[in-house]
Structure 1
Amino acid sequence: MNIQFTIAEWAAWAPGLETAEAWQAWARQPFIPVGDGTPALSEVPAMQRRRIDRLGRMAIQTAYWCQRAEAEGIPFVFASRHGDVACSVELLESLSRQEGLSPTSFGLSVHNAIAALYSIVRGERGNYLALAAGRATPETALVEAVGLLGDGAPEVLVVVYDAALPEVYVDFRDEPDPFHAWCWRVALAAREGARISLGCGVAEQGEPESVSGLPHGLDVLRFLLAGSGSLRHRVDAQRWEWRHGG
């Protein structure tokens, strides 16, 4: 399988990395973002903004920066390997103490909550997807986006985001997990912008799995900002390969 597409625009946010210039410098010398910062998300009225937690603010902020104001009704794909699992853990701990659960907290704990909040605050009525696909989450998000382009969508907004896992899951952590979010405005390969190809095939027996000092989501962003080269990513028996230029 090989798909091609164009990145018409991008935006990203992580603690200490809030501008395009900062991200370009980061791509030349990557590091794990750290800090307690949260996006201002001034585009959203205060009453609605209060309902959005830190991870949601990061994802929604990048979507606001990336989606053109006049581009209403385009589909979007929100993709996160873990989502806001800390919220789910808090609910489970409340249950273990036999405490009542907040309906609002429960509603915000589901995997599509951030995508739904974005559609509400922007008044969007178009199609949206929320997915999780393990260590291949960014790749799966782009496969979905290209499928939507093939169905006739002029563009698709892809938002990839994740947060640190709660300590109860520390034994399952297999890569760094800083708070981060990025958004790409994806169009057909013939459009103006950074042209990318993404291929998928069966990994050769004995081929080592990908190892990086970055979480895979940030490694994919670093690949885009590098402007050239390729990125290989093996997950289980699959090999994914990103390339610039199609």
Structure 2
Amino acid sequence: MPQHVYIESIGLLGPGLNDWAQARAVLAGRVPYAHAPTDLPPPAGLPAAERRRTGPTVRLALGVGQQAVAASGCDAAQLPAIFASSSADGFNFHAICEALAEPDPLMSPTRFHNSVHNATAGYWSIASGAMRTSNVLCAMDGSLGAGLLECVLQASADAESCLLIAYDTGYPEPLHSFRPIPDPFGVALVVTPQPTSRSVARIGVALTHAPATVMPEAALETLRTSAPAARVLPLLAAIARGETGSVVLDYLDGLRIEAEVAEVAEVAGIGGNARA
């Protein structure tokens, strides 16, 4: 049986997608999609020393997380968080490999502490003042699915709101040829166990073997498959169109996630805010 929760707000950054308000019009088909480089904002909330140490992965994750929290009725400092990414900071990893290949290898402490997969969660806690628990997940191309399942189940089991931040950035060559992620893409969802006046949709998740839902527009389908976090696009498109139905998201080989989507007004009697 699907596990149901409510999406309170959405943050989004990707190529040609600058935030949820702009992306919603594109995904609903009201505005044509136009590819453009992902615009990563400065990492707001960090002290100057920490800002200087951040790379594109931290800027992406903080950017979408701060969008989602700002649009919600939640306090970032009080939100448990799930971070999901198929890798850490690829450009930082590349720089470490270059340093280690030198005749006299020297490792920068900043490079080292930014190399761990949970570095983004640490920067988030500094920027938001968050003292709640955070889980940091990696499941290669299934990372978005793993994060979504964890967030939905945690919000339901603990009966409290939870923040999901899923994000992927790429690598420079030569690693780019083996793991091509052409553009940074990140999404954040504030998930609540009960509906509120801000809720944009109710979702229920369950495992399935059905094929994944594809995007009807070729450019958006290319984007969907370009980064693990972008596998969320069919779910976001259904929310943007105010649909009631189900979409199937990529997860693991042979196993996917079926997400039931409904407007909140239809299931909870909260009027007219599902597309806000």
TM tier, shorter chain? Answer: 0.7 to 0.9
TM-superposed deviation, 1:107: 0.4
Q: Which residue of 1 aligns with 2:274?
A: none
- Is the partner of 1:126 in helix, strand or coil? coil
Q: Which amino acid aligns with 2:261?
A: H
**Aligned with 1:38 (options 40, 45, 52):** 40
Distance 1:210 1:83, change over 3 A: farther
- Is the partner of 1:88 in helix, strand or coil? helix
For the 8 Å contact 2:13–2:38, the answer to whether it is kept is: no
For the 8 Å contact 1:34–1:178, the answer to whether it is kept is: no
1:85 counterpart = 2:90:
yes
Query: What CA deviation, in whole Å up to 9, does each residue of 1:159-214 have, x standing for no partner?
Result: 0111123322345347x5421211100111x423210122213x37xx79979422
Q: Which amino acid aligns with 2:64?
A: T
Q: Which residue of 1 aligns with 2:134?
A: 128
Q: Which amino acid aligns with 1:82?
A: S
Gap regions ≥5 residues in structure 2: 216-220, 268-276
TM-superposed deviation, 1:105: 0.8
Q: Which residue of 2 aligns with 1:111?
A: 117
Distance 1:237 1:226, change over 3 A: closer
Gap regions ≥5 residues in structure 1: none
For the 8 Å contact 1:77–1:156, the answer to whether it is kept is: yes
Distance 1:30 1:184, change over 3 A: farther
TM-superposed deviation, 1:69: 6.2
- Is the partner of 2:62 in helix, strand or coil? helix
Q: Which residue of 1 aligns with 2:238?
A: 226
Supply the distance in 1 between the matched residues of 2:212 and 2:5 (Cα, whole angstroms). 28
TM-superposed deviation, 1:23: 0.8
Percent of paired sites with the same residue: 26
Q: Which residue of 2 aligns with 1:12?
A: 12
TM-score, with length taken from structure 2: 0.75
Query: What CA deviation, in whole Å up to 9, does each residue of 1:212-232 have, x standing for no partner?
Result: 422342241442243224332
Supply the distance in 2 between the matched residues of 1:233 and 1:69 (Cα, whole angstroms). 27
Alpha-carbon RMSD: 2.8
Supply the distance in 2 between the matched residues of 1:69 and 1:185 (Cα, whole angstroms). 8
Q: Which residue of 1 aligns with 2:151?
A: 145
Supply the distance in 2 between the matched residues of 1:41 and 1:208 (Cα, whole angstroms). 34
Aligned length: 241
TM-score, with length taken from structure 1: 0.84
TM-superposed deviation, 1:240: 2.0
Q: Which residue of 2 aligns with 1:50?
A: 52
Supply the distance in 2 between the matched residues of 1:173 and 1:84 (Cα, whole angstroms). 13
Greater length-normalized contact order (CA 8 Å, ≥ 6 residues apart): 1
